[in-house]
Amino acid sequence: MSSVPDRSEVDEVYTWDLESIYATDDDWEAAYEAVAERVDELAAYEGQVTDDAETLRAVLELRDEIMREVSTVAAYARMRRDEDTTNQEYQALTARAQSLAADAQSAASFIDPEIQELTREEFEEMVEAESTLETYDHYVDDVLRMKPHTRSAEVEELLADLSEVTGATGEVYTMLSNADMEFPTVEDPDGEAVGITQSNFVNLLKRPDREFRQRVYDAYYDEWESVRNTVATAYKNSVKADVKTAQARNYDTAREAALDGPNVPVDVYDTLVETVHDNLDKLHRHADLKAQALEVDGLEMWDVYMPLTGDEGPDVDYEQATEYVVDALEPLGEEYQSRVAEGLDSQWVDVYENEGKQSGAYSGGTYDTQPFILMNYQDDISSMYTLAHELGHSMHSELTKDEQPFVYSGYEIFVAEVASTVNEALLTNHLLETVDDPEFRKHVLNEFLERVRSTLYRQTLFAEFEHKTHELEEAGEPLTADRLDDLYQGLKADYYEPAAIDDRIAREWMRIPHFYRAFYVYQYATGISAALAIVDGILPNGASDEPNRDAAEDYLEFLRRGSREYPLELLRIAGVDMSTSEPIDRALETYGERLDEMEALLE
């Protein structure tokens, strides 16, 4: 029997406050109907978008109003579904909201192609006639930049209509992995049955009993083996959709298309992979050190998540975690710090796992709502870091909304992962400076090393896998389950050379939901690199000294800018140049230094 509670058993104080969006589902229904009717208003402007400055302003403002409302309707439905992915009612609401979002995108699809008929000079003349259009200056620059990859209004409408279909494989995967798959129970060393879930799998692999870890590992991946062909088919078609969509937009490759959206050169991707490969020796050293710490002859894949301390680590309950996180954010200023504390007291966070709940963690919400954070908190150091991470996203959204209009309120993942990882780095510095308990400090240091391993190295491995799978599809090579397993297993062998690479680990690609959002994961690796550079600037001599308030203010300005500039330009505001390998080299140098510290502690 599962030890995971039903949602009704979770104390309300540990759940997010979705009623702050819509008090009842009936209110959601009314909002849905109202905005669905407004979508048709856009049609009146088709063929007239650039007739004059006043019309251009009117259509852009109308589109923003509609998209704001649609995003709120969609967010509520999705978060209700994520509370319990087996709930048929909220599955239906989510499907309706997704269809509405696709309809809205389709209805607005004529706008960008018509704007692209303008020259830059003509737009500037419109700004002179209608000064409020100046707000859209960067947006129009981005639209004009994309002209070679924007099709006719008719084709754009078709592509928008198809977006729901081309994204369907990700939905299939989500329902399979979170709602339909039932992972087995295994017996722990005390003879108790322990249920494996998507959320607790990694934590179970941190248990000190090695035979138990192997039972968990085998049972988990054997369950994935039972759906191997289904998942391979879903992923194959996801890759195919990426490639076909890129071709429809006149790109040579799906990777080029994905990176061109946020205007990130493909050289940044390649530099990341090359720099990480040049530093695999550090990861290999980490693996060897882990084998020594665990006192095993060779590291097995079910040992990889074990901390260097050789045990499960100290418990950190949610209340203690929130205190640590809030205190760690002091270098960013009192306003930032107090706003986080306020949010934690205002039900931003859905804290604990429950039956059917979406696995993992994310920060959600919209321009017109408070932030919402989904967690599956496990009372450990790792969960505390995840909380800090998601709060970074939430505060990025909050500061952006303070300063930017809706059109710039979103931001690319390339910069989003910086905000989250800065919080993690500040937490590490704070804990190492303020907690005296040597065992706790050892676990904090281990957490830092694991974050770099799993964020910089692991996500780069994933990035290589994605690149290679898309290259195979583009070359007309079949993406079979065997081919995917072999490709992944080969990469795992390169990255974890000192460890034993078994056949089950070849299936690990099946459990990665981010693969259904292609060329997404590399940004975790670039994000941690940029974040460590930013924190070095804010705390040049460590957390014990007065922070550099100018550097902190530059960082906060970066957060406030939203998407008003392109990602590389935004990061330069914060003092980081991601067009070079320097931030990645610096992060990996810090990783090596922390390995030295841990090695000394273990001796």
Name every residue whose Cβ is closer than 8 Å to that of residue 155 and which is 6 or more positions away in sequence: 248
Q: What angle do CA 412, 415, 418 make, to 5 degrees?
A: 145
Closest to 343 (Cα-Cα) out of 368, 326, 320: 326
Residues 6+ apart with CB under 8 A from 470: 239, 242, 243, 253, 254, 255, 518
Reduced to 3 states (helix: H, G, I; strand: E, B; else coil), residue 372 is strand
Alpha-carbon dihedral angle through residues 70, 76, 81, 87, given to the nearest 10 degrees: -100
**Long-range contacts, 151-157 (Cβ 8 Å, 24+):** 151/113, 151/248, 151/249, 152/113, 153/46, 153/109, 153/110, 153/113, 153/114, 155/248, 156/109, 156/110, 156/112, 156/113, 157/106, 157/109, 157/110
Give, rounded to a whole angstrom, the gap between the first and last alpha carbons of the chain: 43
Among 368, 339, 357, CA closest to 20: 368
Q: Which residue among the candidates 69, 114, 157, 390 is catalytic per the annotation?
A: 390
Residue 212 near residue 274 (C-beta atoms within 8 A)? no
β-strand pairing of 349-350 with 193-195:
unpaired
Do residues 175 and 131 touch, judged by C-beta distance below 8 A?
no
Are 469 and 461 in contact by the 8 Å Cβ rule? The answer is: no
DSSP code string of 408-434: GS---HHHHHHHHHHHHHHHHHHHHHH
Distance CA 320, CA 427 (A): 13
DSSP state of 135: G
Residue type, 360: G
Q: Hey, how many other C-beta atoms are within 10 angstroms of the C-beta on 474?
A: 17
Cα–Cα dist 97/109, whole Å: 18
The residues near 435 (Cβ < 8 Å, ≥ 6 apart) are: 441, 444
296: left (phi over 0), alpha (psi -120 to 50) or beta: beta
One DSSP character per residue, 11-56 reads -GGGS--GGGT-SSHHHHHHHHHHHHHHHGGGGGGTTTTTSSHHHH
Say how far apart CA 528 and CA 515 lie, in whole Å. 19
Note if 390 is an active site residue: yes
The rounded distance, in Å, linking the Cα atoms of 169 and 162 is 13
Nearest to 199 by CA among 363, 14, 354, 308: 354
Beta bridge pairs of residue 3: none
Q: Position 22: which residue type?
A: Y
* CB-side neighbour CA atoms (13 Å) of 437: 7
Residues catalogued as catalytic: 390
